[in-house]
Structures are given as structure tokens and as C-alpha cells.
Amino acid sequence: MSSSSLTPIPNLPESSHPKVVIIGAGFAGLKLARKLKGKPFQVILLDKNNFHQFQPLFYQVATAGLEPSAISFPLRKIFHHSKNVIFRMAEVSSVDTKAKRLFTDIGYVDYDYLVLAMGGDTNYFGSKNIEQFAAPMKTVSEALYIRNKIISNYERAINIEKVENRKHLMNVVIVGGGPTGVELAGAMAELRNTVLPKDYPELSFDNMKVVLIEGGPELLGPMSPEAKSHALKYLQDLGVEVMLNARVKDYDGQIVTLDGDVFLETQTLLWAAGIKPNRIEGLSDAQYSRNGRILVDEFSQIIDCKDIFALGDISLLTEENYPKGHPQVAQVALQQAENLAKNFEHILKGRPMQPFHYKDLGSMATVGKKLAVVDLPFIKFQGLLAWLTWLFVHLMAILGVKNRLFVFFNWSWNYLSFDPSLRLLIKPRYVREAERKELIEQK
């Protein structure tokens, strides 16, 4: 614990209201903070970043379709007019549940209620090699890194004479057949089919493979059979090689080894296969499930600590229809946050809290810039109309008028022109120099 953890976070305004400390400004944390705006609570929102990240569109940042700023929202701006919500950029270290004190790298803070909403990080299922060499996509900067890596690889490939020596730079392998993997694969295949051949006329793109690997027998696990089969067909039409029932055993940065000793040559292994809940020191093992999620009751309260709540990907609540817990998706996080915001008001008024029940509003995934699959509770459909639905739902979900207009404008242009102009390798000089050195040594 650093010395700064031993002094209180400075400059917090005085308040006579109960203090709600929220860790994490993802879907759950941000929604809760917004719902508590203007209510008689002092809300302290903590996040490692000074912005909210709109995760469903990371794949567009990775494939040069959107700028990071189009899907990242400065938290201070969101709370300009909310005096009772205070944001601090901080990294949390531990909690003392008896003293009701949270320790961070900028000091400690005492809470009346603590809300854990730190989400998850990439899960490599214990493989150190994959962790070292694969590219994850759980933050907007990781998505940006993927974009830079892909473009750098092409700038390198063009300087290699023999076609067979370029393969590892050109191929892209994506692991994980959930919405993220499917969307990444579709967008990568579209880049290959449209923009890249124009950018690199010297290279032959027949040699570039886009491979999507899924451990199970189907893509988009929890969706309807119609959605699954259409998504598979759409991907195959775009030229994606889909490998089902396939498992990655190892990766050395150049060769992916699959079960059954199948080998794929690539420098670009994108890992969208798993999520590992973030942890905080100070809770007991009994408060976690076996897969690391924090066990909560129907009020989102954690075991043995009535003043600590957990929301979103990090939490685990079993309901009748969800014996293994809810899926780790935005909808659950948002609904939990709304329920908790109401329950805070019930607590204040001495009324009983209302239990949380998940209402599945449906799910969707997009394949490329024209097609999608949509499962709603009452209807399932696929194709262009599904894509328009997907577009509408995601635009509406993005907060803030400015950015909504921006994203829409950017996207429309992108779609019409099929030629995003975000293929920029912007990085600090020392990074560029280190990379060029590596490039030269490898030659």
C-alpha cells in the first residue's frame, strides 16, 4: 500500500448526505451515478480513466472505422451540472469492510455505501504465452493498439519480397465466437475486400486469411438458431474462415497452435474469448463464486456486507431462468444499476428494497456494414433491416448529443465511402524508433 493510501482523498466537498462510492464508470457505474444526480446522496465516482468507454464499438476502433473519441465520453463533462456527483481518476487497492473505508492510490475515502462495478479484464485461461503475444480488446487503448499493429504489419509486409514470408504479417486470427469476435471478423474481412487492396496495390490479398476460431460447436452461443446460421453464412460470404470446435493450445507471436496440431501463421492474434472479473483486496473468498464473480443477492448486496453492492460483469446473481447467473452484457449492468438507484431511494425513505429481475430485451450482432442478426423476445430477423435496427439501437445507446451526431456522421460516411481515413500510425517517437529497430533486426 503506498503512502498516499494513508491520507484521505483531498478536496472532497463537505456533505451531510449519505456517501455512495462507486468504483468503475462502465455501463453499471455510470448509469447509477447518473440516476443519483440531484438526489440526496453524495456520490463519489472513481475510475482508472477520465472517460466512459462504449465497449460495443471497440471493434470499429480496432478496424479503423471510428476514432477513439467517438466512443469515449469524458466523465467530468457528463457531470458538469451535477453538484452531488464527484469524479476522481483513481486506481483502487483495497477495502476495509469493517471500518467502511476504501483505499486508492490518491488516498482513502470512507463510505456509507460502496458499489463495486469494476467489470472484467481479458481472460487468457492461464496461458502465459497467449497473454504475452495475443492482442486483447477490453479497453479503447487496446483497440487502438490493434489498429496500429495491423497497419504496421502491412507497412512491413510491403517491404518483403517473397509472398510466403509475408503471410504472418497479413493473416488475422480472431479467437472467440461471441458478438465481439464475429463483429471483428466481419470488419476485418471487409477491410481486406475493399480498402487494403487500394492502399497496398503491390500486395496480393488473396493471400490474406481472416480466421475466426470458436471453441464450441456454434457462433453466438446464446442466440437463436436462425441468428447463428445467418451469422455463419454472412461471415463465410465475406470470406472469413470459421473454425468451430477448435481450441488454441499455444501461440509464440508467429504461429498459433490449435488442438490436433493445426498451425496458423499470424502476427495478429486477436483475443476475444473470455472475461475475468476484476478483484479488490479485502473481501473474503466466500464472497466470490468459483469463476471469480462476486456473489450477490436479489438486491445486489454482497454476502455479509449489507452496505456493499456489486453490479454488472463483476457480479453473480442466480435467478430461476439463470441458474448459472446472468450473461455478462450491458443490458444486465444497466438494469441492475436502475434497480439499485431506486433501492437507494427506498432505503432513504425507510421502505423495503425491491428485488432485481432481469428482463431480456434481446440481443444482436452485426457482420460487416450491411448485415446483422437480431433476436427480440417476440421476433427474430436478419439482414439489412437487422443491421439498421442494430445501428439505431447502438446510436441511441451512446450518450450525449454531440457524439451521437458525430458517430452517425462518421459512420454514414464510412458506410457510403467504404474508405475510412483513420489509417494513421500516430505514436510517440520512441515507440516508433523501437519498432523500426525491431523491424530491421527481423529482416
Binding residues (CB under 8 A) for a second copy: these are 2-4, 9-11, 13, 48-51, 67-69, 72-74, 76-77, 80, 83, 88-89, 91, 105-107, 139-141, 144-145, 151, 155, 158-161, 198-202, 400, 402-403, 406, 409-410, 413, 417, 419, 421-429, 432, 436, 439-440, 443
Report the C-alpha gap between 93 and 72 in whole angstroms.
Answer: 25
| Neighbour order of strands in the sheet with 92-96 | 92-96, 101-104, 107-110
Whole-number Å distance between alpha carbons of 238 and 369: 11
Q: Please tell me the distance from the alpha carbon of residue 311 to that of residue 301, in angstroms, as a whole number.
A: 9
d(C-alpha 144, C-alpha 167), whole Å: 22
**121 DSSP 8-state letter:** E
Query: Least distance (Å) from a second copy to the CB of residue 106?
Result: 5
Dihedral pair phi/psi, residue 280, rounded to 5°: -130, 135
Between the alpha carbon of residue 411 and those of residues 61, 70, 132, the distances in Å are 12, 10, 33
Cα angle: 87, vertex 73, 112; to 5 degrees: 25
- The C-alpha cell of 97 is what? 469492510
Q: Least distance (Å) from a second copy to the CB of residue 187?
A: 18
Q: From the CB of 351, what's the least distance to a second copy, in Å?
A: 33
Sort 376 into a burial class: Cβ within 10 Å, 0-12 / 13-18 / 19+.
Answer: middle
We find the least distance from the C-beta atom of residue 425 to a second copy, in angstroms, to be 5
Distances (CA, A) of 435 to 15, 349, 422: 51, 60, 20
CB 308 within 8 A of CB 301: yes
Beta-bridge partners for 135 = 270
- The nearest distance, CB 136 to a second copy, in angstroms, is 10
As a whole number of angstroms, the distance between CA 364 and CA 105 comes to 39
Q: Which helix (H) or strand (E) holds 86?
A: strand 85-89
Least distance in angstroms from the C-beta of 105 to a second copy: 6
The nearest distance, CB 147 to a second copy, in angstroms, is 11
CA separation for the pair 149, 187 (Å, rounded) = 16
